[in-house]
């Protein structure tokens, strides 16, 4: 079938393929929902674990740089290798998380938001409005140094100033004969400041109040830096705009914030440090029904670059069933939305409104399919034992069928309207 959407001067979208069941869904969505209807220029990088191992992970850096240059990318979930994989000879080294490499290259902030659908009961029924999770994707546990301590000894932490000033040393603890483990982590003020700006700007764009959660009562300097930087950025740059928009900003302890969020109706942006954002995003995704309904976008380079992704992981257990010949009924909605949001951004940057209309159509059709009862197992189980479910491939084909029908009706109307209505359409 030829493309039915005019492209104009659309520039490339960078596609980052991944692993396991996530990759199966990725290819299904690309080949059945996107490419049959949109002749988009894709720059593809294979970030599967075997390819990252073959290239000594060079391909991950190249992919991140390509996204930065193109300003729009979309990413499939990928594997971060474990010691078990190293032990089987599957990989030569414990390569770092591709997500971490990409996030550091793009200097980005992750925003995750659930898709709220009336047909899908929520695990937290009071959440009637979306909760946008903002995760600071730098430092903390993800760029920490951790090691096993073999025996008795003294653990210290030392800061040596570049200007030749006096070094600062802190004694962390003294280990006994049995040793233990140690962890050292860091963050940087510039990154925290950019995180704050991105959160406040996104809150204004979405019309949502912003909350930052930390544990500054325990980590007085570390979490205190987040608290103080957010307060300074808000007061200096955003307070007047928030007041004009009728929005508020507040810092809360993370335990208080978690409890308040569960009792709320949603409708706010929740800013978290790196690890906190990782965990709380999963909680919010499940609370709204399923990780398969969670959108995820990395805004990098001060908002100049958008990388969308499906944030539910590679789903290894389902992939084993797929390889065995089963259809595990994995939810591809987040994958579909990763593609549609990237296409919408490409359309916005390149002034291609009909491509934006196509992206909107894909999202509308996907939501409509679920609302009409076409559900994968994760969603059907929330509705109840009498709700039927479909397989992964069947769900993708259902969405593709509706997209094809809608585009056919649009083309038919355009022909009926005459030459003006047909301008730019591909026959």
Q: Which of 97-101, 197-201, 264-268, 355-359 has the lowest mean pLDDT?
A: 97-101
Q: Is the pLDDT of residue 144 over 50?
A: yes
Tokens 């991944």 correspond to what residue? 18
pLDDT band at residue 427, thresholds of 50, 70 and 90? Answer: very low
Q: 98: annotated binding-site residue?
A: yes
**pLDDT value for 96:** 86
Q: Is 99 annotated as a binding residue?
A: yes
Q: Is residue 397 marked as binding? A: no
Q: Is the per-residue pLDDT at 274 higher than 90?
A: yes
What residue has token string 């259902």? 398
332 has binding-site annotation? no
- Output the pLDDT for position 5: 57
What's the pLDDT score for residue 54?
A: 94
Does residue 33 surpass a pLDDT of 80?
yes
For 368, counting Cβ atoms within 10 Å of its Cβ (0-12 exposed, 13-18 middle, 19+ buried), the class is middle
Least confident segment among 10-14, 60-64, 168-172, 210-214:
10-14
80 is in an annotated binding site: yes
Q: Binding residue per annotation — 112?
A: yes
Averaged over 218-230, what is the pLDDT?
A: 97
pLDDT-based confidence at 425, cuts 50/70/90? Answer: very low
Average pLDDT over residues 102-109: 87
Using pLDDT thresholds of 50, 70 and 90, give the confidence band for residue 2.
very low
Average pLDDT value for the chain: 91
Query: Is 102 annotated as contributing to ligand binding?
Result: yes
Over range 231-255, report the average pLDDT: 97
The whole-angstrom separation of Cα 276 and Cα 158 is: 26
* Residue pointed to by tokens 């390509």: 66
CA distance 185 to 140: 5
**Greater confidence, 10 or 64?**
64
CB burial readout 250-259, b (16+ within 10 A) else e: ebbebeebbe
161 in a labelled binding site: no
The pTM of the full predicted model, rounded to 2 decimals, is 0.86
pLDDT band at 411 (very low <50, low <70, confident <90, very high): confident
pLDDT value of position 142: 84
Within the chain, how many helices (H) and strands (E) appear?
16, 14
- Output the CA torsion sign for 89, 90, 96, 101: positive
- Count how many residues are written for the chain: 427
Residue 7's pLDDT band (cuts 50, 70, 90): low
187 labelled ligand-binding? no
331 is in an annotated binding site: no
For residue range 65-94, list pLDDT tens digits in order.
Answer: 999 999 999 999 999 888 888 777 778 888
Q: Would you place residue 313 in the very low, low, confident or very high pLDDT band (cuts 50, 70, 90)?
A: confident
The number of beta carbons lying within 10 Å of the beta carbon of residue 201 is 18
Q: Which pLDDT band, with edges at 50, 70 and 90, does 224 fall under? A: very high
């Amino acid at each position: 079938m030829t493309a039915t959407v005019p492209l104009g001067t659309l520039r490339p979208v960078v596609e980052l393929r991944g692993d396991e069941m996530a990759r199966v869904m990725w290819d299904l969505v690309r080949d059945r929902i996107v490419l049959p209807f949109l002749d988009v220029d894709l720059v593809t990088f294979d970030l599967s674990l075997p390819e990252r191992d073959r290239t000594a992970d060079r391909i991950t850096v190249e992919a991140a740089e390509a996204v930065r240059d193109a300003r729009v990318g979309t990413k499939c979930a990928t594997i971060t290798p474990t010691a078990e994989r190293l032990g089987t000879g599957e990989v030569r080294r414990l390569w770092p998380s591709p997500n971490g490499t990409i996030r550091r290259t793009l200097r980005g902030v992750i925003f995750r938001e659930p898709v709220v659908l009336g047909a899908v009961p929520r695990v937290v029924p009071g959440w009637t409005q979306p909760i946008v999770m903002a995760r600071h994707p730098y430092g903390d546990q993800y760029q920490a140094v951790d090691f096993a301590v073999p025996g008795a000894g003294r653990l210290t932490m030392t800061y040596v100033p570049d200007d030749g000033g006096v070094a600062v040393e802190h004694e962390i603890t003294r280990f006994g004969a049995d040793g233990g483990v140690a962890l050292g982590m860091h963050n940087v003020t510039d990154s925290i400041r950019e995180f704050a700006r991105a959160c406040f700007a996104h809150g204004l764009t979405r019309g949502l109040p912003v909350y930052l959660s930390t544990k500054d009562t325990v980590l007085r300097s570390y979490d205190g830096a987040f608290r103080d930087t957010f307060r300074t950025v808000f007061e200096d740059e955003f307070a007047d705009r928030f007041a004009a928009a009728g929005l508020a900003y507040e810092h809360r302890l993370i335990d208080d914030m978690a409890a308040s969020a569960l009792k709320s109706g949603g409708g706010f942006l929740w800013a978290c440090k790196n690890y906190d954002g990782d965990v709380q995003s999963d909680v919010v995704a499940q609370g709204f029904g399923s990780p398969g309904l969670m959108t995820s976008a990395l805004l990098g380079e001060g908002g100049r670059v958008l990388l969308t992704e499906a944030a539910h992981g590679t789903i290894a257990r389902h992939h084993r069933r797929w390889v065995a010949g089963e259809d595990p009924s994995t939810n591809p909605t987040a994958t579909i939305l990763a593609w549609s949001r990237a296409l919408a951004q490409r359309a916005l940057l390149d002034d291609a409104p009909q491509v934006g209309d196509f992206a909107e159509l894909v999202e509308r059709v996907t939501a409509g399919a679920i609302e009409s009862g076409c559900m994968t197992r994760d969603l059907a189980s929330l509705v109840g034992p009498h709700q039927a479910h479909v397989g992964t491939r069947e769900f993708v084909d259902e969405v593709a069928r509706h997209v094809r029908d809608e585009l056919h009706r649009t083309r038919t109307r355009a022909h009926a309207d005459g030459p003006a209505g047909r301008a730019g359409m591909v026959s």
